[in-house]
Amino acid sequence: MNKVENSFLNKTQFGEDFLWGVSTAAFQIEGAHDADGKGSSIWDVFTSQKGKIKNDHHAVTACDFYNSYQTDIDLIRELNIPNFRFSISWPRIMPTGVHPVNQAGIDYYNKIIDSLLESGIEPWITLYHWDLPHTLELKGGWTNRESVTWFSDYVAVCAHYFGDRVKNWMVINEPSVFTGAGYFLGIHAPGKKGISNYLKAMHHVTLATAKGAKVLRNAIPDANIGTTFSCTHIEPATQNAKDIEAAKRVDTLLNRTFIEPILGLGYPQKDLPVLKKLNNYILEDDLNNLDFHFDFIGLQCYTREVVKSSLLIPYIGAELVSADKRNVISTEMGWEVYPPALYHVLKKFNEYKGIKKIIITENGAAFADTVTNGKVFDIKRTHYIQDHLEQILKAKEEGLNVEGYFVWSLTDNFEWAEGYNARFGLIHVDFNTQKRTIKNSGLWFKDFLS
């Protein structure tokens, strides 16, 4: 008997109030890149350039969620999933990033929100999931300090139009990833590189996170306000002092740099000296404007990283030992499958006194799924989810704070620089026909949630 039938997991073990959901993001699913007055985002521009994305994939149509949202909402209901996380495309509702508002964009999100509520599904909105309006990028994007104002005006618009029905909000998604990949390494939109772009973007995004949350709080006093961080369990490759120190620096960069200022602890400059360069961009009073008392913190964890010291890598003096070099089981993303990572990050983030509530707002795996006789037998993904849920149970049994779990993702979708080859969905998408097929993992999740 395989583990699917054999799983002892039961929803009731997590408690009645535990939140179950599924997560998506606008650019990865919507398509309709220029429909009804939408402006271009930095990702529309980046994906239109040759050589940026694997196989030159783009998201002009993606999962066509813009047109087929009702089909997908019906599927969420069919899978018994009570909470749906999606993001707003800023240039769809503000084509140039600033006023005026595009009413057609507002109407579109209203239709989604209303349809979810009619289906008994709770909407969870992410305000920024990486698709900055291109017009703002022409003015420097997140490297321009004015981005804090642009963003808070956009947040006010979302709160005004959707706040009467939407109570759950996430301000910014994974700031470490989009600033690191987009403003330092240049492998994500907008494709900028270099330490000064990166540090400016880091500081402005952090200011914008706190400011955006305050705008939401004022506009919707009873809102449940969170923001999401990518996090990874870090281990040194050996017990040599150099590797241990290197692992500490990587841990500081990946797990601490963005959350600590938000919690009122400032940037961890002592443990990652390059962050001292941030002082060039921190203006008087900024340090008083970086924190916000979030109702919840969304953690997104997929794997662990093993780190060794390396003099060749500037600023951090460390490099990751990839999963294939370690000969471990990994996903299509090349990420090691290591469920205890989730337990370790929960333990780590539980140490922060300032976190009220933790929700796992993303976890999932990409595998090369195929449809055979109308079925997708994605046993590896099913196990991945079950094994991660067991780690959450372990954490809960130890009394750690963790109050929800959202799978990434509802359907296969556009996985940024990886294009469409990395399939993360509970539901398979044939990108030629847009046909949806619920995978084995989706069927298991449905049973589990029933």
Query: Catalytic amino acids?
Result: 362
Q: Residues touching ligand NOJ: how many (CB under 6 A)? A: 9
Chosen residue from 44, 131, 137, 174 binding ligand NOJ by CB under 6 A: 174
Least Å distance, CB 230 to ligand NOJ, is 6
- Lookup: tokens for 162: 């959707």
Name the β-bridge partners of 122. Answer: 83
Nearer to ligand NOJ, 291 or 415 (CB): 415
Whole-angstrom distance, CA of residue 179 vs CA of residue 275: 14
Nearest to 310 by CA among 250, 251, 231, 253: 250
Nearer to ligand NOJ, 25 or 116 (CB): 25
Whole-angstrom distance, CA of residue 234 vs CA of residue 412: 28
Strands 427-430 and 435-438: antiparallel
Q: Nearest 5 degrees, angle CA 32-CA 375-CA 388?
A: 80
Cβ contacts of 285 within 8 Å, gap of 6 or more: none
Q: Is the dihedral of CA 82, 86, 92, 94 positive or negative?
A: positive
Q: Rule CB under 6 A: say whether 131 interacts with ligand NOJ.
A: no
Alpha helices by DSSP H, listed for 225-339, are: 241-251, 259-262, 323-326
Nearer to ligand NOJ, 161 or 414 (CB): 414
Nearer to ligand NOJ, 318 or 407 (CB): 407
Alpha helices by DSSP H, listed for 140-225, are: 147-162, 175-179, 195-219
Q: Rule CB under 6 A: say whether 363 interacts with ligand NOJ.
A: no
Nearer to ligand NOJ, 102 or 409 (CB): 409
Nearer to ligand NOJ, 91 or 163 (CB): 91
Whole-angstrom distance, CA of residue 404 vs CA of residue 22: 11
The H or E element containing residue 111 is helix 103-118
Residues in the chain: 450
Least Å distance, CB 360 to ligand NOJ, is 12
Cβ neighbours, 10 Å, residue 297: 24
Whole-angstrom distance, CA of residue 428 vs CA of residue 448: 19
Whole-angstrom distance, CA of residue 380 vs CA of residue 423: 12
Residue with token string 């916000």? 292
Nearer to ligand NOJ, 177 or 321 (CB): 177
- What x-and-dash track marks residues 390-429 binding ligand NOJ by CB under 6 A? ------------------x------x--------x-----
Least Å distance, CB 415 to ligand NOJ, is 5
Least Å distance, CB 75 to ligand NOJ, is 19
Least Å distance, CB 257 to ligand NOJ, is 17
Nearer to ligand NOJ, 166 or 365 (CB): 365
Q: Rule CB under 6 A: say whether 300 interacts with ligand NOJ.
A: yes
Least Å distance, CB 274 to ligand NOJ, is 24
Name the β-bridge partners of 309. Answer: 318
In the chain, how long is the greatest CA-to-CA distance?
64
Chosen residue from 291, 362, 369, 390 binding ligand NOJ by CB under 6 A: 362
Least Å distance, CB 6 to ligand NOJ, is 28
Q: Rule CB under 6 A: say whether 25 interacts with ligand NOJ.
A: yes
Least Å distance, CB 413 to ligand NOJ, is 7
Q: Rule CB under 6 A: say whether 30 interacts with ligand NOJ.
A: no
- DSSP reduced 3-state for 263: coil
Q: What would the DSSP string read from start to end of 201-235? A: HHHHHHHHHHHHHHHHHHH-TT-EEEEEEE--EEE
Q: Rule CB under 6 A: say whether 331 interacts with ligand NOJ.
A: no
Residues within the interface to ligand NOJ (CB under 6 A): 25, 28, 173-174, 300, 362, 408, 415, 424
